Amino acid sequence: MKKAGLNYLLLLMALPLLAACSDEEATAPAATVQVELQNMVGVQPLQLDASTYTSPAGDTYVVSNFKYYISNVKLISSKGEATFLEPESYHLIGGEGKTTFELKEVPAGTYDKIELSIGVDEAHNHSTDQVGDLDPSNEMVWDWDTGYKFLSLVGTYTGDTGNGGLVFHVGGDVNYKTLTLDLPQALNLRQQPNATLRLQADVNELFQNPNLIDFDVMHAGGHGAGPSMIAENYSNGFLKVVEVK
């Protein structure tokens, strides 16, 4: 015990020297940006299996499983000062998956937009590469030809004329959508080397804007026009940055 104490003391003495060492070697300070994602329905946090929600078309529904891929995350400075593209950028969000991820080694600069895509880009969608959260054994694999499910929502609904299961599996290269979101305030990484971007996704936005989805008419789908309508919706107002901190 005594000896451990002594070791710590020596380490403590050595630390400032080590720090001095690395300081001189570093070129430009790089920052870490935490991205936090929260799934919502309107203004309430999404609860799986526990709450009944009302869709924009007036049907009620319960969500039991909800997941989607966010990929190729970029931080952009509109002054052209800097852009940062996260390498191997594939994040599975929702369900029991993670709700935060970290952008590492972001060059110092002032950023005012974030660009990201929902889905998996064509090059990675049809390959056996397993970078980021791409995993041929997770729930998001489809078949080898179609690639990954980009977004999966499973639950139940009660409509005006019927009720039943809600199963949307959206995938296919045409439904890979890239969105650019404004940050509510610019992120100055020179002043703030450890920042957090808080994003919210609103499930109800999958069912409106521009395409109003009435569950009596459509409550399932993976290929074809229906899911593409949902994909158009998720590129419009589904995700927003609510806070920079």
Partner 1 sequence: MQTLRNLLLPFLLLIAAFACSPDKEEVEPEVEPFEPTPYELVLPKTFPQNFKVPADNPLTEEGVLLGRHLFYEKRLSGDNTMSCGSCHQQEKAFTDGRALAVGIDGVAHRRSAMSLSNLLWFFLFNWDGSALSLEDQARIPIESEIEMHQSLAEAVKELQATGLYPPLFRKAFGSDTITEERILKAIAQFERTLISADSRYDRYLLDEGTFTEDELEGMKLFMTHPEPGIGLRGGNCGDCHGGVLLSMRTFHNNGLDEVLTDLGYGAVTGREVDKGKFKAPSLRNIALTAPYMHDGRFQTLEEVLDHYNEHIKENSPHLSPLITEATNEVGGKTLLLTEEEKRKIVTFLHTLTDSTFITDKRFSDPFK
Interacting positions 67-126 with partner 1 (CB under 8 A): none
- d(C-alpha 155, C-alpha 207), whole Å: 14
Among positions 120, 166, 203, 244, the unique one binding partner 1 when judged by CB under 8 A: 166
Query: Cα separation of 134 and 233, whole Å?
Result: 24
User: Is there binding between residue 22 and partner 1 (CB under 8 A)?
Assistant: no
Phi (first) and psi of residue 45, to 5 degrees = -65, 140
Does 23 interact with partner 1 (rule: CB under 8 A)? Answer: no
The interface region with partner 1, picked from 28-36, 76-84, 190-198, 218-226 by CB under 8 A, is 218-226
Counting contacts by CB under 8 A, is residue 27 touching partner 1? no
Residue type, 169: H
SS3 label, residue 41: strand
Residue 168 and residue 33: Cα distance in Å, rounded? 32
Q: Is 139 in the site for partner 1 (CB under 8 A)?
A: yes
Nearest to 67 by CA among 133, 157, 150, 141: 150
Q: Is 21 in the site for partner 1 (CB under 8 A)?
A: yes
Footprint of partner 1 (CB under 8 A): 3, 6-7, 10-11, 13-14, 17-18, 20-21, 24, 49, 64, 128, 130, 135-139, 141-144, 154-156, 164-167, 169, 219-226
